[in-house]
């Protein structure tokens, strides 16, 4: 869950990025966040993940108060989130299996649990036949599916994907969105940032539009005709 109340962000160099953002995402929702370049989408994501601090306002994410989050609590908080990036961010020298298993070792899971869970999530994303491949032996869509497997392996309550299909062709993009939809149907909250209007309109989901740091629309079922982003 996300609650942002009157959130503003002015970057350290004086650039205003967000003003008066009020945002409520409940557990189990699937939400698209759309808007033109530089409208503030990634800034919202970074505030939600506590990568950057807001300038003013209040925020609660998965029960953690962003305004009072101690640095000692940040790792525990981050484990409630799975983050997926446009450029995949896989480890080039590790196999598909190892890229995903690594995320579980990092949180101290026992080896037997790791094996079972990694196999399960790789099957879920349809890559159980590519366990031993290295990232550069995969297509872009397959790499993104590894990144999604890694993001969900520790069972986060929410997945946040910032332009997850930015480097993929339209068919692959639909596949990735369908996979995120499937993950959402299993109970995980999903927030997807995207530029791709046509892609969003293929899915009948809640769509939040941001422009120049403000939310200008929040509706379910795609864009309206008069919105141009
Ligand atoms: N670290 C930073 N320091 C200063 N200004 C920044 C920083 N990061 C982003 N900005 C500025 O904040 C505004 C919002 O940027 P943001 O990255 O949130 O946009 P975006 O909607 O994600 O754009 P895109 O679709 O291109 O990824 C822009 O004007 C940008 O130049
Ligand atoms: Mg961005």
| Ranges assigned E (strand) in the chain | 2-10, 16-25, 30-34, 56-61, 64-65, 81-85, 158-162, 189-194, 206-211, 214-220
Is residue 13 domain-resident?
A: no
The atom of ligand 1 lying closest to the CA of 43 is 18
Task: Return the pLDDT at 224.
Answer: 56
Q: Record the pTM.
A: 0.95
Is residue 113 domain-resident?
A: yes
Give the integer Cα–Cα distance in Å for 204 and 93: 39
Is residue 14 domain-resident?
A: no
103 Cβ contact list (under 8 Å, min separation 6): 150, 153, 154
Q: What are phi and psi of 10, to 5 degrees?
A: -120, 120
Residue 17 Cα to ligand 1 middle (Å): 7
Task: Return the pLDDT at 205.
Answer: 96
CATH number at residue 43: 3.40.50.300
Cβ(215)–Cβ(41) under 8 Å? no
Task: Return the pLDDT at 223.
Answer: 63
Residue of 9, 33, 39 to mutate, ligand 1, most atoms within 8 A of C-beta: 39
| CA dihedral of 10, 11, 14, 16, whole degrees rounded to 10 | -40
Is residue 171 domain-resident?
A: yes
> Considering only CA atoms, which residue is closest to atom 28 of ligand 1?
38
Q: pLDDT tens per residue, the chain (229 residues)?
A: 999 999 999 999 999 999 999 999 999 999 999 999 999 999 999 999 999 999 999 999 999 999 999 999 999 999 999 999 999 999 999 999 999 999 999 999 999 999 999 999 999 999 999 999 999 999 999 999 999 999 999 999 999 999 999 889 999 999 999 999 999 999 999 999 998 888 999 999 999 999 999 999 999 976 654 455 5
Residue of 21, 41, 212 to mutate, ligand 1, most atoms within 8 A of C-beta: 41
Cβ(144)–Cβ(164) under 8 Å? yes
The atom of ligand 1 lying closest to the CA of 36 is 25
Is residue 207 domain-resident?
A: yes
Is residue 36 domain-resident?
A: yes
Q: Which domain holds residue 175?
A: 27-53+79-220
The atom of ligand 1 lying closest to the CA of 52 is 1
Residue 193 Cα to ligand 2 middle (Å): 8
21 Cβ contact list (under 8 Å, min separation 6): 4, 6, 7, 8, 40, 44, 57, 213, 214, 215
Q: What is residue 78's three-state secondary structure?
A: helix
Ligand 1 site residues, Cβ closer than 6 angstroms: 11, 13, 15, 17, 35, 37-43
Q: Return the DSSP state at 207.
A: E
Residue of 10, 21, 43, 47 to mutate, ligand 1, most atoms within 8 A of C-beta: 43
Both tokens of residue 148?
Answer: 């999604």
Task: Return the pLDDT at 7.
Answer: 98
Is residue 12 domain-resident?
A: no
Number of domains in the chain: 1
């Amino acid at each position: 869950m996300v609650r942002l109340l009157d959130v503003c962000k002015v970057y350290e160099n004086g650039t205003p990025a967000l003003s008066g953002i009020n945002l409520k995402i409940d557990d189990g929702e699937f939400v698209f966040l759309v808007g033109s370049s530089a409208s503030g989408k990634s800034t919202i994501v970074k505030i939600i993940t506590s990568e950057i601090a807001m300038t003013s306002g209040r925020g609660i994410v998965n029960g953690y108060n962003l305004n009072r989050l101690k640095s000692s609590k940040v790792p525990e908080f981050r484990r409630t989130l799975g983050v997926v990036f446009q450029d995949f961010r896989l480890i080039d020298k590790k196999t598909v299996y190892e890229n995903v298993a690594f995320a579980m070792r990092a949180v101290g899971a026992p080896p037997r649990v790791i094996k079972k869970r990694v196999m399960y999530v790789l099957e879920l994303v349809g890559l159980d036949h590519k366990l031993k491949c290295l990232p550069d032996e995969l297509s872009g869509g397959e790499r993104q599916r590894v990144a999604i497997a890694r993001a969900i392996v520790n069972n986060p309550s929410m997945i946040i994907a910032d332009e997850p299909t930015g480097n993929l062709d339209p068919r692959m993009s639909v596949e990735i969105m369908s996979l995120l939809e499937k993950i959402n149907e299993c109970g995980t909250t999903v927030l997807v940032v995207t530029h791709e209007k046509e892609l969003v309109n293929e899915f009948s989901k809640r769509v939040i539009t941001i422009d120049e740091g403000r939310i200008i629309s929040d509706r379910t079922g795609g864009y309206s005709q008069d919105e141009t982003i």
